[in-house]
Structure 1
Amino acid sequence: MTDDNESNRPWYREPWVWVIIAIPGITILWSVFLILFSMQQHVSMVEDDYYDKGTGINRELSRDIKAADLGLTGRVSFTDQQRLDIVLKSPERRNWERLEVELSHATLGDRDQTTIAERVGEGRYRASINALSDGRWYIDIRNIGNDWRLRSALNTPLEEPLTLKPIREARQQ
C-alpha cells in the first residue's frame, strides 16, 4: 500500500525535480548578477576610440624620430619615491628649461600622473611625483613644445637607474 502512495505523489513533491529545476534557475540568477555587476564597473583599459588611438601611433612616431636625430638618451632614477631625477645626454649638449614627464600605470589609469621637471644643472632635471605603486609603468619624457620624446617601460620598485633611448624604429630611420 505504501508503494502506491509513493508512486501517486504529485511531481512537486519529488526532490529530483527540484534539483533539475535549480540548475538552470541558479544559472539565470548568476547571469543577471554578472550583467548588472559589469554595467556598474568602469574599465579604464578599454578605449572607445581605439581606431583613432591606433592611427595616432604613426603620427607620434615623428617625435621618436626627432629624438633619434638629436641623439638624445636619458637616465631616470627615483629618490625617496617622491622625486624623479633625469639626466639627458645629447651630442650638441642641448638644454631645455623644463620637461614634461608622464608616468602611466600599465593597467590602472587612475594612477597615471603628469608633472614638469625643472632644469637643475647641465642636462639634469628634477620633478616631484606621487609615490608609485609596485608594478609595471610607462614613462614618457618630452620637451614642452612636444617636438621629441623618450619613452620606456619600467618596473617599480626601480633598483638601478633606467636608461631611455629612442625606440628602435626611430633609430633605424
Structure 2
Amino acid sequence: MQTEVKKSWFKQFWPWFLIILPMAAVVAGISTFIIASDNKPDMVVDDYYKTGKAINADLSLLTNAKKLGLSAEVVQQADGLLIKMEGLETNTSISFSLFHSTQSKRDKLAMLTADAEGNYHFETDQPLVGKWSLRLEPFDKKWRLEKKVVFPSEKIAL
C-alpha cells in the first residue's frame, strides 16, 4: 500500500495561479488611477458662461481686424517663425501666442517688436511640431488675428 504525500498549499501551482490573477488586476487598477490623476486634461473649463461671453468678444476682435484690412503671413524657419504683417500703419509691438491643442505646458506667449523691414521674429529652441492655435493681437487688444495651424508648415496666411 502506497501512501500519497500531500504538499502544503503554498507549494502547489494552482493556488498561486488563482491569487496572481486578481492581484494583477489590482496592480493594473492602481497604476491606471495614478496615471489618470497625474495627467489631467487641460481642456476642461470651469466657467462655461464666462467662456461663452469671451467667444463673442473674440468674434468682434476678429471683425475689427478685417475692417482694418489686417493680414499676416507666417513662415516657419529653423529657429522659429517669421511674421510679415500687412495693413499696420506703424510698426507697433504685437502679442504673439501659440497654444498647443492638448498640452498647455507647451504654450508660448511673447511680445514681439518689428525689425527695420517691419517683420516680426519669434525664436524658439525647440522645433514646432503638431497642431497649434496661433494668435496675433496688439498691446491694446483692439483687433485679433488667429488660426489653427499644423507645424511643420512652409507658409501660413492669417
Provide TM-score, normalisation by structure 2: 0.77
Q: What are the ranges of 5 or more consecutive residues in structure 2 without an aligned counterpart?
A: none
The code of the aligned residue for 2:55 comes to I
**Structure 1, residues 85-124: CA drift from partner, whole Å, max 9, x if none?**
322223xx633511111122222222221122223357x3
Q: What are the ranges of 5 or more consecutive residues in structure 1 without an aligned counterpart?
A: 165-173
- Higher helix content, 1 or 2: 1
Matched, 1:139 2:134: yes
Q: CA RMSD in A?
A: 2.9
Kindly indicate whether the alpha-carbon contact (under 8 Å) linking 2:73 and 2:156 is maintained by their aligned counterparts in 1.
Answer: yes
Kindly indicate whether the alpha-carbon contact (under 8 Å) linking 1:120 and 1:126 is maintained by their aligned counterparts in 2.
Answer: yes
The code of the aligned residue for 1:86 comes to I
**1:49 aligns with one of 24, 46, 64:** 46
Cα distance in 2 for partners of 1:44, 1:101 equals 24
1:88-167 mapped onto 2 (5 Å cutoff): 88-90=85-87, 94-120=89-115, 124-131=118-125, 132-159=127-154, 161-164=155-158
Change (3 A) 1:29 1:86: closer
Q: Percent identity?
A: 22
Provide TM-score, normalisation by structure 1: 0.71
Kindly indicate whether the alpha-carbon contact (under 8 Å) linking 2:76 and 2:152 is maintained by their aligned counterparts in 1.
Answer: no
Name the count of aligned residue pairs: 156
**Structure 1, residues 44-68: CA drift from partner, whole Å, max 9, x if none?**
5243526256423233222112112
The code of the aligned residue for 1:68 comes to K
